Amino acid sequence: MIIDLPVMLLCWLMLFLWQIVGFALTYKLYAHKSIDAGWGFGRLATWIFISLTVWFLGHLKLPVNQSVFIYLIFFGLTFFALKFYQKHHKEILNFVKDRWPLIVAQELIFLFFFLFLSIVRGFNPTVEGLEKFMDVGLIAGYLRSPTLPAQDMWLAGSNLNYYTFGHFMGSIVTQFCNLSVEISYNLLLGMMMGLVAIQSFSFIANVVAAIYQPKKQQIKQSYSNLIKVIAIKAGLLGSILLVFAGNGHSTWFWLTNHTFVGYWYPDATRFITNTIHEFPAYSFIVSDLHAHVWGLPIVLFLLFNLSLWLSEIMSATTKLKNLSKLSQQPYFTSSIIMGILLGLSICTSTWDFLIYSVLLIIISLVMLLIKRQQFLHVLLSGLLILILALLIASPWFLNFDSISEGARWVTLRSPVWQLLVLWGPHLLITFITALIAFVFLRKRTQLTAQSVMIIGMAITALALIILPEFVYVKDIYPNHPRANTMFKLTFQSFVLMTLLVGILPGLISWTGIKKKLAESQQLLIKMILVIFVLSVGYYAYFGYRDFYLGLKRYQTLDGLHWLKTQNPDDYAAINWLRNNVAGRPVILEAVGESYTTYARVSTFTGLPTVLGWRVHEWLWRGGFEIPSQRTSSVATIYEQPGSPMALELIKEYKIEYIIVGDKEREAYQQLDHQKLKKLGTEVFTSGSTYILQI
């Protein structure tokens, strides 16, 4: 462990530089809107700025997706941040002196969770199993793509046809920190857990503080110690639960069996037959850097801005006589930011765009029930958000072929008791939070912006659980037709409900101060909250214990250590290609099924192979025709290398390197080594593994 600590701390330090630079932007945007001036989103602000700049320039075919340009962008951003700090140093120093408890609390949260998962990964650092090959392969592919879009590492000659902006952002961090992808992968997991924790803390703390001080000028002029303490407590609870808590399954197992012996933590995500219902804690435990994980920081930032937008649009008084007045509205900046974030969601995890667009609509409808006069403001702001979202996502749209087969009606629904086992505890707390907000959180009998936000989140969370019981989006898995739909919807439902759990303690304290609830009622709600935390909060113990082998022996941060140990010849071949092959020439290796160690060379080098995981390509291409054809083509080259057909296929796919190792021998029993070696020069040999250059 000690040997890897310097790498972890260096990565943390470089991300802290992002925080300092990003805070200049968040302070400018949020200093007079939020209690922490958006401190929790500083790292993400820098990350998004660098990534978007490279993303758009790269799609203009400028070779900017390289470390030198990433550093130049960062240094440029740093220059403007320093100028901003110089100009506003007195104001910012006063702000930090007043709000330092919030800042320190958030930084300690980020540091703890970053180090926690980074260190834990060292007990089982293997980047293999589940979706890890896909996730690391996408990052590795972007690392070899100075211009964009990037070529699919598992389908040579074709662009990626999946939402991969998160993986692209991961490659930006990898380049900035100058790490190999197998080490970066594990540190990225620590970074993502840290970001989710600090950002959920910031969102909850800001909503709670706004409940106590609904007027913006009050936030700017005075900031009581009481609010600091309550906001910090609420933020801590919500952030810890979001990254560690499970659903109600583990407690149901104990109540049913009177023991935890035999409890298997993945069962909480596969309890309902032929479905998936994961949540953040499980995702961090199994450590797939999949789209739903990459999307978490973006949706938390979106929620933060949505809460501010709601306050601003509810207080807008200027009549919109023409569109030129739109830029003068208090919600204009928030609308632009939300449009950018929703656009990023489209190409990071498209489901998130749909889900949070629904949340925006629901919150707007709730608000319009009490403020109909704001309809035009909501309409024009919504159009601005949508237009910006589509513009931000346009490079992705222009290179993406839709694979959707449309929606279908559900024919086999979940038993109600199973839904209650999974979501009952969260739904209970969500209902209590929304009820308190509806009954008590009012101003002159009207709901406040905070109450509308809470009620909108609660309605959306419930809808996301109910929807997969009636409709699903069809994909290629006939035996699990609604699994992916339920997965994506209930994952975000869990996020929304957990954030509401964090808000509840602040609401309870507020009702006590305002004498809205009797002490006995407050005590009852607190007891329910404590029971809830105890019933879902221990899930992570079983997950980390079982997945990380009891946390008994620290190994390394190197995610390729398993291959170095199990097949040192293949490991050496991968390193030779990394060190000696520039650009993205096409390689040939054995075709394999998903969730195996086939396609290991393309995965860890980023070099495109003719065909990698063929079921994944089936999913990404919307049919099996291309994977089927290429499966036969690859077999022909390996088993009939001297035939005219094989020579034609090599030219067709522009193959420059052929890999032969254990996987190729396993897949192609008739592999003809003698004729194969006549196709080119043997440029690498280690044991039984060799590489031919055509």
What pLDDT, on the 0 to 100 scale, is given for residue 224? 67
Q: Residues 120-174: pLDDT tens digits?
A: 999 999 999 899 999 999 999 999 999 999 999 999 999 999 999 999 999 999 9
Query: What local confidence, expressed as pLDDT, does residue 555 receive?
Result: 94
Q: Which amino acid is it at 576?
A: W
Q: Of 316-325, 511-520, 557-566, 668-677, give the lowest mean pLDDT range.
A: 316-325
Burial class (CB in 10 A: 0-12, 13-18, 19+), 328: exposed
223: pLDDT strictly greater than 60: no
pLDDT tens string 371-399: 888 888 899 999 999 999 999 999 999 99
Give the pLDDT band of residue 445 (cuts 50, 70, 90): low
For residues 268 and 277, what is the distance between their CA atoms, to the nearest angstrom? Answer: 8
Residue 216, pLDDT above cutoff 90: no
Tell me the C-alpha distance between 215 and 219, whole Å: 7
Q: 256 versus 374: which is more confidently predicted?
A: 256
Q: What is the pLDDT of residue 125?
A: 95
Q: What is the pLDDT, as a whole number, of residue 189?
A: 97
317 — pLDDT class (breaks 50, 70, 90): confident
Range scoring the smallest mean pLDDT among 227-236, 438-447, 470-479, 494-503: 438-447
Residue partners of 43: CB distance under 8 A and separation at least 6: 15, 18, 19, 22, 110, 195, 198
Binning the chain into helix, strand and coil, the percentages to the nearest 5 are: 70, 5, 25
Longest dimension (CA), the chain: 87
Q: What is the pLDDT of residue 318?
A: 67
Give the single-character DSSP code of 151. Answer: B
Above pLDDT 70, what percent of the chain?
97
Mean pLDDT over 483-493 rounds to: 95
Question: Model confidence over 25-34: pLDDT tens digits?
Answer: 999 999 989 9
Gap between the Cα atoms of 298 and 345, Å rounded: 7
> Considering only 198-212, 324-338, 451-465, 642-656, which range has the smallest mean pLDDT?
324-338
Task: Show the DSSP H helices in 514-549 as ranges.
Answer: 519-536, 539-547
As a residue count, the chain comes to: 694
Kindly tell me if the per-residue pLDDT of 546 is higher than 70: yes
pLDDT score, position 321: 65
When mean pLDDT is compared across 360-364, 440-444, 524-528, the lowest value belongs to 440-444
- DSSP for 185-230, written as a single string: HHHHHHHHHHHHHHHHHHHHHHHHHHHH--SHHHHHH---HHHHHH
607-636 mean pLDDT: 93
Q: Place 633 in a pLDDT band, splitting at 50, 70 and 90.
A: very high
What was the pLDDT predicted at 644?
92
Parallel, antiparallel or unpaired: strands 586-588 and 681-686: unpaired
Percent of the chain with pLDDT over 90: 83
pLDDT tier, 43 (very low <50, low <70, confident <90, very high otherwise): very high
- Of 549 and 459, the structure prediction assigns the larger pLDDT to 459
Is pLDDT of 684 > 60? Answer: yes
Whole-prediction pTM: 0.95
pLDDT at 477 over 80: no
Higher per-residue pLDDT: 455 or 1: 455
Q: How many CA atoms lie within 13 A of 129 on its CB side?
A: 12
Confidence of residue 322 (pLDDT cuts 50, 70, 90): low
pLDDT level of residue 286 (50, 70, 90 thresholds): very high
71 has pLDDT over 80:
yes
pLDDT bracket for residue 334 (50, 70, 90): very high
pLDDT in tens, 6-24: 999 999 999 999 999 999 9
pLDDT by residue (tens digit) across 569-602? 999 999 999 999 999 999 999 999 999 999 999 9
The domains located in the chain, with CATH, are 5-396+404-547 (no CATH), 567-693 (3.40.50)
Write down the pLDDT at residue 217: 44
Provide the mean pLDDT of the chain.
93
- Whether the link from the prior residue into 149 is cis, omega within 30° of 0, is yes
pLDDT at 349: 95
User: Per-residue pLDDT averaged across 530-537, rounded?
Assistant: 95
Q: Residue 212 has what pLDDT?
A: 83
**pLDDT, position 518:** 84
Residues 634-656: tens digit of each pLDDT: 999 999 998 999 999 999 999 99
